[in-house]
Amino acid sequence: MLSRSSFNLLNLDDYSCVSDRPRIPRVMTVHGILSEFEEDDNGGIDNRNINETDRFPDAVSSPTAGRRIVVANQLPVKARFETETNKWVFQYNPDSLVLQLKSGLEPDTECVYVGSLPVDVHPSEQEEVAQILLEKFRCVPTFLSLEIQNKFYHGFCKHYLWPLFHYMLPVTRTQGVRFDRVAWRAYVSANKVFADKVMEVINPDEDYVWIHDYHLMVMPTFLRKRFHRIRVGFFLHSPFPSSEIYRTLPVRDEILRALLSCDLIGFHTFDYARHFLSCCSRMLGLDYKSKRGYIGLEYYGRTISIKILPVGIHMGEIESVKSSAETAAKVLELKQKYNGKVVVVGVDDMDMFKGISLKFLAFGKLLEDYPTLRGSVVLIQILNPARSRGQDIQEVETEMRTVAREVNRKFTKDGFEPIVLVNGSGSTHEKVAYFAIAECVVVNAVRDGMNLIPYKYTVSRQSNPDLDRVLEPDEPESNPKPKKSVIIVSEFIGCSPSLSGAIRVNPWDIDSVTEAMYLAIKMPDREKEMRHEKHYKYVSSHDVAYWARSFDQDLVRACKEHFHKRCWGVGFGLQFRVVALGPTFRKLSVEHIVSAYKKTNSRLILVDYDGTLMPQGLIDKTPSKEVISILNALSSDPKNVVFIVSGRGKDSLSKWFDSCKKLGLSAEHGYLTRWSGDSEWESCELTVDVGWKKVALPVMEHYTEATDGSFIEQKESALVWHHQEADPDFGAWQAKELLDHLESVLANEPVVVKRGQQIVEVNPQGVSKGVVLDRLVTTMQNTGRPLDFVLCIGDDQSDEDMFEKLGSSVANGIAEVFACTVGQKPSMAKYYLDDTVDVIKMLHGLEAVSTHVAESTRFHVETRT
């Protein structure tokens, strides 16, 4: 719920008019580390009462026009310094994913890349280098100072955030780096530098920004703060941990809220997305909704879409490598070297999560359990360089080499070692050649975001005329044999769900990995062929172009409503967020409603209780003296008829409002009504048979017993199952099951089963707050009190019935109509207030008018007397 203190503070840094604003220098060097709460020189947030609608009254842009600004930690270029010319030389890196994704965009779509260089450039050369990169490669470099680079990348990203996202908690100092506030501030500072570079080149009315990976998770906040309607997508290439792991992060809320500044957030697997949604639910109280295959989170009037799609490989690059003479020569060399051997291959980065030692242990056990395989099977392990530095990397490498030496010592036969270590810093041609001769690939990571090695292996094993002539020289080119491959993949990596023909293993279970290797080696050729065909069909159709195209289309779809809403900036630092409102949905001004209140003489005021007059989080729901005083003042005004319209039972309402003698009460959503404290309770005109309770109550009791923290509320006309005290995920899950169960068993009963805010409720048909409003309006008109003012205010789904009635025929002929919801959210109401504090403030304004009129009347009477 929005903070009352900050809601009216509008962020009005006018960076929207690009042509009028000063250009940010192409080279920006950061000397210090920013606080995560540091604001801009102008204060960051302003109090002026204007918004972006005033700047863009008729803003319309083509849905797919504009460039794609692709932001990643590293630019898709290779760099080297030529001492002969004393110049930097750059070229595109064909292996870079952010470069490859352009193949999925429209041919005329321009891409601009923002990121850091893989080399250090002296400050005196940065201006020239930036100019070259922008003009020739459409790249905008971010030159971070050495201090920030070390603390941002090697400190916070690789030694804290990356292990945490891979389920490794720094319980002791030997198990990882603990949270460091200085490193976190460096992370924030680096993200701001990246954001500043984007702002240097963006046209916010047309361009789309696509941010990649965990290095830049708070960057969306800086962008959204500058341009409230900016189009931003984010894709996480690492795992997103479960809420039990993620909530140990001291800056968990800041990162979640920053990601929610995006329009689209992408994940490789449903598990990663599910964990993110669970964190949003448990830590921010946000629930997602699924509609027509799209998952969305409502966040301050904006809908953040969730995308689940694993990335693919660049088919053209692999095919090109396979067709090269360099690859064919390497394949011939390897074929001769390992002639007569069954080759098993692995390609892994040197880090603690790739499970290389576990793989070697399983391979050693294979040779121990199956002596006939000794000397005939070889495991070639290609080791890519580590992406970070530190003691943990050294320990992993030492352990891996120790295990490899031990296996080789025990099982070397005829001078041939069973485990061969290969330096992975070589070319792609070399890796494709190893894939081409391997019968099986083993990807044994204990945790990995995606891992494209199985995809590359599958494509490398597919038929290719140039390689077929080397691998199968006696085979006729016109009729090549079906290709075969086997993949052993850990169940803890992102590509596992998409490889339905792979042998999935638990890398921690050495025995199961051993048996998987034996199965792969002894598998019949026909089975290998069928598995290969299945995998190749998927990999070739779900390549990087497919992934990029799908994400880009969803990003365009997610942003299409931007210029149809009014936007406000709220909050400071990384707590900043944008509130987006529909064109006719606005905050209820106290001055406006008080003015209408003064001019009218026959008023009906309907107010919900829980969540409207009483905050949801409180255990004691007894109304305060302030609330009682306001209600007494309003209901004592002879021009007013005031009702509390609640879902609660009559006993609770009678007890709480016993001192409000002129206050009307409507209990159980209108099933029971009392016009004043001296009148009797009346039931609605419907004849209600509650025999259905005998069926529904045992069902609810079963779910109550199974769901810790839930309870049943029994009313005269209804039954309510509450789960606000239960585990958020389990409670919501059980509520959905209970809803389906009750709808099934009560299908032939005259009742309605509904879900509300952490409740499942069964009500008689024809009973709703909308019916209450209709009946009260009709009664007053029939008794000679035509209305000229109606106020309905409530916070949950049951109140929407009132708002809908008020927006239709009920309001005809009434001069002043106010339907107001509490909390900014999609609603049938035309107005909203932020929270119960604002509701009390508004009612105080009305109370002041009634009290003033009453005192004036009393004064005139006393004067005449």
- Model confidence at 351: pLDDT above 90: no
Phi then psi dihedrals of residue 305, to 5 deg: -85, 145
pLDDT tens for residues 287-325?
888 877 889 998 988 899 999 999 999 999 999 999 999
Give the confidence band of 521 by pLDDT, cuts at 50, 70, 90: very high
pLDDT tens for residues 302-311?
899 999 999 9
Percent of the chain scoring above 90 in pLDDT = 62
Pairing outcome for strands 759-764 and 719-722:
antiparallel
Give residue 478's pLDDT: 62
User: Rounded distance, CA 486 to CA 453, Å?
Assistant: 13
Say how many C-beta atoms besides its own lie within 10 A of residue 534's C-beta. 15
Give the confidence band of 782 by pLDDT, cuts at 50, 70, 90: confident
**Mean pLDDT score, 242-271:** 95
562: which 2 tokens? 């931007």
User: Rounded distance, CA 234 to CA 551, Å?
Assistant: 10
> Which has the minimum average pLDDT: 110-124, 418-432, 679-693?
679-693
User: Rounded distance, CA 726 to CA 710, Å?
Assistant: 6
- Model confidence at 51: pLDDT above 70: no
270: which 2 tokens? 């449903």
Q: Are 792 and 666 in contact (CB under 8 A)?
A: no
Give residue 37's pLDDT: 43
pLDDT tens for residues 386-444?
877 777 788 889 999 999 999 999 998 887 899 999 987 778 899 999 999 999 999 99
Give residue 62's pLDDT: 45
| Residue for token pair 């809420």 | 243
Give residue 43's pLDDT: 36
**Mean pLDDT score, 503-518:** 97
Give residue 376's pLDDT: 94
Say how many C-beta atoms besides its own lie within 10 A of residue 38's C-beta. 14
Distances (CA, A) of 119 to 115, 138, 142, 357: 12, 18, 12, 31
Q: What order do you get walking across the sheet with 719-722 strand by strand? A: 711-714, 719-722, 759-764, 751-756
**Mean pLDDT score, 23-35:** 42
- Model confidence at 700: pLDDT above 50: yes
- Model confidence at 11: pLDDT above 60: no
Give residue 5's pLDDT: 31
Give residue 865's pLDDT: 59
- Model confidence at 41: pLDDT above 70: no
Q: Is 89 helix (H, G, I), strand (E, B) or coil?
A: strand
Give the DSSP H or E segment for 267.
strand 264-267
| Residue for token pair 């500043």 | 196
**Mean pLDDT score, 641-645:** 94
- Model confidence at 102: pLDDT above 60: yes
Give residue 20's pLDDT: 37
pLDDT tens for residues 668-685?
888 889 999 888 888 876
Give the confidence band of 644 by pLDDT, cuts at 50, 70, 90: very high
Q: Which of 536-545, 722-731, 830-839, 842-851 has the highest mean pLDDT?
A: 536-545
- Model confidence at 173: pLDDT above 90: no
- Model confidence at 19: pLDDT above 70: no
User: Rounded distance, CA 271 to CA 310, Å?
Assistant: 12
Residues 6+ apart with CB under 8 A from 50: 10, 12
Give the confidence band of 477 by pLDDT, cuts at 50, 70, 90: low
Q: Are 140 and 201 in contact (CB under 8 A)?
A: yes
Residues 6+ apart with CB under 8 A from 110: 67, 68, 138
Give residue 186's pLDDT: 96
**Mean pLDDT score, 44-70:** 49
> Which has the minimum average pLDDT: 8-17, 270-279, 657-666?
8-17
Give residue 257's pLDDT: 95
| Residue for token pair 């030694």 | 159
Q: Name the burial class of residue 122, with classes exposed (0-12), middle (13-18) and buried (19+) by CB atoms within 10 angstroms of its CB.
A: exposed
736: which 2 tokens? 């959905």
Percent of the chain scoring above 70 in pLDDT = 89
Q: What's the mean pLDDT when you consider all of the chain?
A: 86
pTM over 0.85: no
151: DSSP letter = I
User: Rounded distance, CA 103 to CA 96, Å?
Assistant: 12
602: which 2 tokens? 């026959």
Q: Name the burial class of residue 17, with classes exposed (0-12), middle (13-18) and buried (19+) by CB atoms within 10 angstroms of its CB.
A: exposed
- Model confidence at 74: pLDDT above 70: yes
Give the confidence band of 64 by pLDDT, cuts at 50, 70, 90: low
**Mean pLDDT score, 524-544:** 96
Distances (CA, A) of 655 to 633, 716, 721: 19, 17, 23
> Which has the minimum average pLDDT: 3-7, 373-377, 492-496, 567-571?
3-7
How many C-alpha atoms does 635 have within 13 Å on its Cβ side?
A: 22
pLDDT tens for residues 547-592?
999 999 999 999 988 777 888 888 888 888 888 877 788 889 999 9
- Model confidence at 55: pLDDT above 70: no
Give residue 861's pLDDT: 57
Q: How far apart are the first and last CA of the chain?
A: 52
